[in-house]
Structure 1
Amino acid sequence: MPHTFTFPNIRREIAALWQLAWPVLVGQLATVGMGVADVAMTGHTSADELAAVSLGASVWAIILVTVSGVMMAINSIVAHDVGAGALDKVPHAVRQALWKALAVGVTAAALANLATLVFDYLYLTPHVHRQASLFVHIISIGLPPFAAYRALYGYSTSINQTKPVMVIAILGLLFNVFVNWLLVFGNWGLPALGGVGCAVSTGLCMWLMLAAMIVWLRVAPAYRATYPFTHWEWPHWAEIAPMLRLGLPIGVTYFAEVSAFGAVSLLVARYGVVEISAHQIALNFSSLTFMVPLSFGIALITRVGQAMGEGLPVRARFVAWIGVGMALAFGVLSALLMVLCRHQIAAAYTSDPAVQALCAYLLVFAALFQLSDATQVATSSAIRGYKVTRAPMLIQLLAFWGVALPLGCWLGLGHDMAAAGFWIGLTIGLTVAAVLLSWALARLAVQRVREA
């Protein structure tokens, strides 16, 4: 059988999934690289500026990733249409997704600005408080174009066009680093804005990436059969509502995970600049390695969705577990990298000896949850390929807000373990998510095969 777990079949599927995933991976690394550049470049100004960017980036990351999740509904919808051969449905779905993006992006920008009120309740110096709030206020201008970009991103990857998102993300990273160099340090006679310069750069970069994607869709031949900008179309609630029902649970799922990490960043702030900075660097590097299994997950949504659109649930199950295995294999490699190179990683981010020492210690905990983190993102993505989004949402809420955060608070605050206590809680929460999501995927895959 073409989808049994034999070595030739596994090798072919790994090659097919990698062919789809590697441009997504490069694009994701470039996108996350913007955040890495913000933190790393600010880290060489002052500890106060780094703390301000770390706090502002925590709020930004929560909102940004939630928007990505809400907009991810278009991935499954287009993948199923492509698998079923219904290419005529794709342009209409993309146009409606862009109307949805407008509403989501504006709402997200408003929520990001309101979220800065939480800084009033933290033990921050006036300078750090002011800079962190200003960072969020400025960078929020990038949320509406980012939501629209993610709609077009999902459309492109779901018709097997992943290289454009890679190229555009690389251009965005180069733009971000260059403008950071100008504004953070005050080169070429420009004012040295510190962390605020990062916010200006990233906000502008979101608009640049959206414009580049629109131009690419217009000129590339691969999009002609499904090109969405052939005519004007008003929003249709009957079409947008199902997208929201599919996308909102994904957004909540992403929010559950990222907000737990973000909440930890805010809670760690009470322990001072060194704890904030070390935690943020360790989290930032963990986010960088996380892009690899996340890219496998995005490819899995397309592969599983297309298989289900073709009416092949056995193939969908085969694809899903191969993707999970690939993500898990990388988790082992990233864990070894963090343990063996933790001191070098810390030194690349900051020259402060105290921050370096604590960051190297926290990276040990980051290494521990690499296996669980890779497994949970791959399994949840495979489940979304089946157009099922509520089960991952409930599991993630339980794992992060029912286990990770309470346990982290108990250890970090109650037992005075500071950042280390929170990282132990996150590790256990991710393990709970990985186990439950693996069980949910196995159950769903068998159910779909039986229904067929």
Structure 2
Amino acid sequence: MLHLRQEARATWTLAWPIMIGQLASTGTSFVDAVMAGHVSAGDLAAVSVGASIWVMLIVTLIGLNLAASPLIAHAVGARREADVPALVQQALYQGLCWALIGWVIALVAAPIFPLLGLPPDVAAKAHGFLIAVSWGLIPFSLFRVLYGYSASLGQTKPMMVISLIGLALNIPANWMLIYGHFGFPAMGGVGCGWATAFCMWATLLMMIGWIRYAPVYRATYPFRHWQRIDWRRQRELARLGLPIGVVYFVEVSAFGGVALLMARLGTTSVAAHQIALNIGSLTFMIPSALGTALTVRVGHALGGGNPHRAREIGNAGLVLGLIVASVSTLLIIAGRHQIAGWYTSDTAVLALAGTLLLYAGLFQLADATQIVAGGILRGYKVTRQPMLIHLTAFWLVGIPLGYVLAFGVAGLPGIGAAGYWQALVLALLCAASLLVWLFIRTSKRFIKTANPLR
């Protein structure tokens, strides 16, 4: 028990700055939703539907760019710091490639909105929002690579500070572009997209500047002696990163993609779902930070040849995740009506959002467990099996069952938006159970062979 407390404390020390930084990054979506919602329910719905594709893109990019983190952590744990600069450079090349692919997807997807049954003005605003915000994909992807590099060195506070500054910049940028100040046109929800893209470029430049001048990065400084693309290393990064990207895409599409399907249920359902999803996205960042910290700490332990400690770190991380999730559950359920009131004064949206936030609170425990377990497994460089687990849980169980519950089947009536959330809670429970089982099996195998990956 003493070891568990010590490992949990060490993980928390590394994780809490990541947590605040990620909450600040996600806070831009919160600010967008709140400020757009106070323009009109239509602007909130437009940002909701546009953000459903945007969030799928950026969360998938987060997953794809996580491949470098366990590789760097293993190198640091094995005292091979000389390998780190080349690793970061190759990850930046790949991150740029992923971002360009994401940009093309955003441009191709933008014309879909008029086909979803949305009112023409809402569809036009959603289209404009996605086009505008997609200009932030390249800086976001490169920032995430540098984010993983810094975290693998145990330097998490810089990202926290930079993300908080980015959030602070987003508020006046939104104010100018949404409502039209200082000579800018009043663009409503579309202005949120341009403001977010601007802030992402700003945070990337701040991160590059910090790495350039902070002494702690000098031994592994990645911006000198640039190498050409190393295709062997690119394949290694892709082998790890693609399954992680699929995992992240599967989960976020199960939630964000629902907003597209809910367009059939009307603006009220779309807006209420966006409120619940926005809060879910904020709370997701708390266990996500724990998962990032655990990837680094487990990777350090395995790189240093200590699989017993890697298992202890993982066990303590699971307990810590459950404690944090319990607090989130209580806060969301107890304050769901007040939370909905932050976003809108529309009576119908408030009522439905209160119901959906109840489900958003209930899934916290399962969501935290599966996120933390996934982070631990990344530290073991295990990514393919979690991908298969998520595909099964969300696309074979969650989305089909959610569609049936929401819209009905064979003459049975649907229950609307709540049906999707009920099914997605069940999918999270399935994923969490299987990922914990996979961690237990993997840790035993590493201990038995006493031959950790190097």
Q: TM-score, normalised by structure 2?
A: 0.97
1:148 aligned residue (142, 146, 164): 142
Q: Give the drift of 1:445.
A: 0.6
1:78 aligned residue (72, 78, 84): 72
Other-structure match for 1:221: 215
Q: Give the drift of 1:186.
A: 1.5
Other-structure match for 1:292: 286
Q: Give the drift of 1:190.
A: 2.5
DSSP 3-state at the match of 1:38: helix
Does residue 1:234 correspond to 2:228, yes or no? Answer: yes
Give per-residue Cα distances to partners, 1:248-306, cap 9 Å, x unaligned.
Answer: 10000000000111221111111111111011001101111121111111100000011
User: Equivalents in 2 of 1:103, 1:324: separation in Å?
Assistant: 34
Deviates more, 1:46-55 or 1:182-191: 182-191
Number of corresponding residues = 446
User: Equivalents in 2 of 1:81, 1:152: separation in Å?
Assistant: 16
User: Equivalents in 2 of 1:232, 1:205: separation in Å?
Assistant: 27
Q: Give the drift of 1:115.
A: 1.9
Q: Give the drift of 1:241.
A: 1.2
* Residue identity matched to 1:234: R
For 1:401-416, what aligned pairs fall within 5 Å after superposition?
Answer: 401-414=395-408, 415-416=413-414
* Residue identity matched to 1:314: H
Give per-residue Cα distances to partners, 1:87-144, cap 9 Å, x unaligned.
Answer: 0000010011111111111111101121224324311111111111111111111111
2:304 aligned residue (278, 287, 310): 310
Other-structure match for 1:443: 441
Other-structure match for 2:391: 397
Other-structure match for 2:418: 420
User: Equivalents in 2 of 1:353, 1:231: separation in Å?
Assistant: 60
Deviates more, 1:181-190 or 1:311-320: 181-190
Give per-residue Cα distances to partners, 1:332-382, cap 9 Å, x unaligned.
Answer: 111111111111100011111211111011111111111100100000110
Other-structure match for 2:328: 334
Other-structure match for 1:66: 60
User: Equivalents in 2 of 1:365, 1:11: separation in Å?
Assistant: 31
Deviates more, 1:163-172 or 1:109-118: 109-118
For 1:6-405, what aligned pairs fall within 5 Å after superposition?
Answer: 6=1, 8-405=2-399
User: Equivalents in 2 of 1:307, 1:369: separation in Å?
Assistant: 31
User: Equivalents in 1 of 2:97, 2:285: separation in Å?
Assistant: 27
DSSP 3-state at the match of 1:193: coil
Work out the percentage of aligned pairs sharing the same amino acid: 49
User: Equivalents in 2 of 1:129, 1:428: separation in Å?
Assistant: 32
Contact residue 95 and residue 141 of structure 2 kept, 8 A:
yes
Other-structure match for 1:3: none
User: Equivalents in 2 of 1:121, 1:68: separation in Å?
Assistant: 29
Give per-residue Cα distances to partners, 1:205-242, cap 9 Å, x unaligned.
Answer: 11111111110001101101100112222212121111
Q: Give the drift of 1:331.
A: 1.4
User: Equivalents in 2 of 1:62, 1:127: separation in Å?
Assistant: 23
User: Where in structure 1 are there 5+ consecutive unaligned residues?
Assistant: 1-5
Give per-residue Cα distances to partners, 1:412-438, cap 9 Å, x unaligned.
Answer: 011321100000011000000011111
Q: TM-score, normalised by structure 1?
A: 0.97
Deviates more, 1:226-235 or 1:61-70: 226-235
Contact residue 77 and residue 304 of structure 2 kept, 8 A:
yes
DSSP 3-state at the match of 1:188: coil
User: Where in structure 2 are there 5+ consecutive unaligned residues?
Assistant: none
DSSP 3-state at the match of 1:187: coil
User: Equivalents in 2 of 1:353, 1:346: separation in Å?
Assistant: 10
